[in-house]
């Protein structure tokens, strides 16, 4: 049965009623899942297999029947490994129904249906007994319940329940142990994602509110591909610390705990950030180790096993603290049943409360947004553009979420400044900045939709400068920021004739690329470690085909290196001087593949023309090098359109990427199709 669901349109700002079938959410989750990435993770798969074989051998050596419980089985891969290694029977638990159905199909296709039972439940709902889901308790526990933070998927409560109700005493576990590591560092780049720094505007300083600088920040972990953060971007203040370990073969507690590591500072600096990752010992001997350590910890970085389903974590201390070389420090990690947090504490101070944002800025702004607001070069572009259009008579209206532009406009001498805010929380954050800098009445904050704004709200004035970054909290894909254009259109009657619009226009670009690793998340697997997992490929493909047309996905490409195979191509320009048109905007053409490599798809981004001679890119921030190296903005996600079948480019320019794009104003969406053609 189809139902109508109300969804906020990120581009138009309108509430759209969309007819969707019952399976919509299933298809969405499957299409965006990381199963392909996990199946392509050979390092993970091989070490799980080695650990499983060792555990099965030990149980058999004791003369016991080998019964395996696989919690979070996914495709059933680890269960099939267990049976292949000699297990007598395996109970494979999978909560997500479509995934459980796929696992059952894969297990049957590989002729293991008589030895593997798929249980479509959460493990805490599984029962044991003659009429239960399991006929007997298991003596080997195999799990893959981990996320970048190790415990964020509820690993500890699941292990706790399994040991109490589903496992035999003295059971084996694969993995056997997890160990969490951390390193205290100073990093201007990383700290810029957590705190707003003082801002210089025409010789004056805009100070961040004390409520923001003293706030412990957002509780959620910052998970990134730490391998793409250069070691030159931080200074290590101490050694790599072993914070704590969890032995999964013994009863596990999900109760909150704290662990400290005391060390001597090896350098002076500002303690700001903790870099963290973990290892899995697949066997009790500690000889089979699967590590999440970033590439720059390897003697040869080329040996680094790339993966996206597990990355590394960045934690921000509640406040920065100056430390001196030789000073004794104590780094404390505390965890509840789902998350970790760090603090730099006194030796006898163990229990530290979880971070909680009290200033609201860390709830309004994402961490990349903090970095964007702290970007001096980007800020200078906006200040220069504002200076070129503002006059003492300017009446300015800002349309963005939580933007500092209206404060800049006042500091640059505008007559009146108004700001439209999307939410009360966003408005209050900007009001804190105004109060902290004694500018309380300099900017009129309006929590109202653009189409509802009247001349009375503007104190009888007409707008002479309409400005935006544009930044909106609802935007995911590059063109979602065209919401600024729709706001400009709704405000048209309130604009003075010849009013300045900043930015004046935006251009959509694309470039064909070969990804170093990101291609794995969408690549079919076929077989994995000798097992046929093609039903998973088929299910993912059906989910991708569920929509009427193919779509781009948002990805922060600074974390995912790629090699350019074409030049950057401007394919569509949106003129903010004019209102949103009624008719679609289309663009068709082709660009030759002049780079050598495997073309996995195209990357898309927006560039905003603030004035005729000042442009801000949300994608490439430097020209593509002769070798095809791409440098991407760290502040915004770019769009990625994957080809179903990669294309081997010889670089002779004979093959080309053909494109067809249509912007549909009534939908606020861009329908797109890319393909590789050859003569």
Point out the residues that are catalytic.
Answer: 144, 153
**Which tokens sit at 13?**
């700002």
The β-bridge partners of 463 are: 495
621, with CB counted inside 10 A (0-12, 13-18, 19+), is middle
3-state secondary structure 529-589: CCEECHHHHHHHHHHHHCCCCCCCEEECHHHCCEEECCCCEEEEEEECCCCCCCCCEEEEE
Whole-angstrom distance, CA of residue 458 vs CA of residue 416: 9
Q: What 3-state class would DSSP assign to 38? A: helix
Whole-angstrom distance, CA of residue 56 vs CA of residue 141: 11
Backbone angles phi, psi at 75, to 5 degrees: -80, -10
556, with CB counted inside 10 A (0-12, 13-18, 19+), is middle
Which CA distances in Å does 588 have to 47, 214, 570, 628, 671? 48, 52, 11, 24, 12
| N-term to C-term CA, the chain | 46
Angle between helices 77-84 and 97-109 in degrees, nearest 10: 30
Q: 526-541 in b/e burial notation, b at 16+ Cβ within 10 A?
A: eebeebebbbbbebbe
Angle CA 545–550–551, to nearest 5: 130
Give all strands of the β-sheet with 340-344 in edge-to-edge order.
257-264, 328-335, 340-344
Angle CA 43–45–49, to nearest 5: 115
Nearest to 517 by CA among 311, 231, 247, 242: 311
DSSP string of 445-503? Answer: EE-S-GGG--TTTTTT--EEEEE-----TT--SGGGGGHHHHHHHHTGGGEEEEEEEES
Which CA distances in Å does 575 have to 449, 501, 585, 672? 22, 10, 11, 20
**Which tokens sit at 195?**
């705190």
Angle between helices 24-31 and 534-545 in degrees, nearest 10: 120
Q: Could you tell me which residues come within 8 angstroms of residue 27 by beta carbon, excluding any fewer than 6 positions away?
A: 542, 543, 546
The length of the chain in residues reads 679
How many of the other CB atoms lie within 10 Å of CB of 630?
Answer: 23
């Amino acid at each position: 049965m189809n139902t109508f669901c109300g969804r906020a349109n990120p581009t138009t700002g309108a509430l759209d009623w969309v007819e969707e079938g019952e399976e919509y959410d299933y298809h969405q989750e499957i299409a965006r899942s990381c199963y392909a990435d996990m199946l392509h993770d050979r390092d993970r798969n091989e070490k799980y297999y080695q650990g499983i074989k060792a555990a099965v051998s030990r149980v058999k050596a004791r003369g016991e029947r080998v019964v395996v419980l696989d919690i979070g089985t996914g495709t059933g891969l680890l269960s099939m490994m267990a049976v292949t290694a000699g297990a007598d029977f395996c109970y494979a638990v999978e909560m997500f129904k479509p995934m459980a159905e796929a696992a059952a199909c894969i297990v049957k296709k590989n002729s293991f249906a008589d030895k593997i039972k798929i249980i479509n439940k959460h493990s805490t709902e599984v029962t044991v007994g003659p009429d239960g889901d399991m006929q007997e308790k298991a003596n080997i526990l195999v799990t893959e319940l981990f996320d970048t933070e190790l415990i964020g998927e509820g690993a500890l409560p699941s292990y706790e329940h399994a040991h109490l109700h589903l496992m035999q005493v003295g059971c084996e576990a694969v993995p056997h142990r997890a160990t969490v590591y951390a390193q205290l560092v100073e990093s201007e780049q990383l700290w810029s994602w957590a705190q707003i720094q003082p801002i210089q505007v025409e010789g004056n300083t805009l100070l961040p509110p004390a409520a923001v600088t003293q706030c412990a920040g957002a509780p959620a972990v910052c998970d990134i591909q730490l391998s793409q953060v250069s070691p030159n971007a931080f200074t290590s203040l101490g050694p790599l610390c072993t914070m704590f370990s969890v032995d999964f073969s013994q009863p596990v507690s999900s109760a909150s705990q704290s662990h400290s590591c005391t060390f001597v500072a090896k350098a002076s600096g500002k303690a700001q950030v903790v870099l963290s990752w973990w290892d899995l010992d697949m066997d009790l001997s500690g000889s089979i180790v699967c590590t999440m350590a970033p590439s720059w910890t390897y003697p040869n970085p080329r040996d680094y096993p790339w993966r996206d389903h597990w990355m590394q974590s960045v934690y921000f201390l509640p406040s920065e603290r100056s430390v001196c070389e030789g000073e004794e420090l104590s780094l404390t990690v505390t965890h509840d049943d789902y998350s970790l947090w760090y603090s730099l504490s006194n030796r006898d101070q163990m229990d530290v409360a979880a971070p909680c944002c009290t200033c609201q800025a860390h709830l309004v702004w994402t961490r990349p947004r903090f970095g964007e607001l702290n970007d001096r070069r980007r800020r200078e572009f906006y200040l220069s553009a504002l200076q070129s259009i503002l006059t003492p008579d300017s009446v300015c209206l800002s349309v963005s979420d939580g933007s500092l532009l209206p404060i800049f406009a006042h500091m640059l001498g505008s007559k009146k400044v108004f700001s439209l805010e999307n939410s009360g929380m966003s408005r209050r954050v900007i009001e804190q900045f105004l109060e902290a800098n004694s500018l309380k009445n300099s900017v009129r904050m309006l929590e109202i939709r653009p189409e509802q704004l009247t001349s009375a709200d503007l104190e009888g004035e007409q707008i002479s400068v309409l400005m935006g970054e544009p930044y909106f909290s609802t935007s995911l894909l590059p063109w979602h920021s065209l919401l600024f254009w729709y706001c400009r259109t709704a405000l048209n009657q309130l604009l003075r004739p010849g009013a300045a619009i900043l930015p004046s226009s935006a251009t959509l670009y694309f470039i064909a690329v070969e990804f170093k690793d990101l291609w794995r998340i969408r690549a079919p697997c076929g077989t994995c470690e000798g097992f046929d997992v093609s039903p998973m490929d088929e299910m993912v493909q059906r989910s991708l085909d569920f929509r009427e047309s193919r779509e781009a996905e948002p990805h922060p490409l600074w974390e995912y290196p790629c090699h350019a195979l074409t030049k950057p191509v401007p394919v569509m320009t949106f003129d903010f001087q004019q209102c949103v048109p009624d008719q679609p905007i289309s663009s068709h053409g082709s660009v030759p593949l002049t780079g050598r490599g495997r073309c996995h798809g195209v990357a898309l981004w927006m560039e905003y023309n603030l004035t005729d001679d000042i442009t801000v890119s949300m994608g490439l921030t430097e020209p593509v090098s002769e070798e095809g190296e791409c440098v991407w903005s760290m502040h915004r996600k770019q769009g990625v359109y994957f080809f179903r079948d990669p294309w081997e480019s010889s670089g002779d320019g004979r093959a080309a990427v053909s494109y067809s794009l249509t912007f549909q104003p009534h939908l606020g969406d861009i329908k797109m199709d890319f393909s590789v053609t050859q003569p």
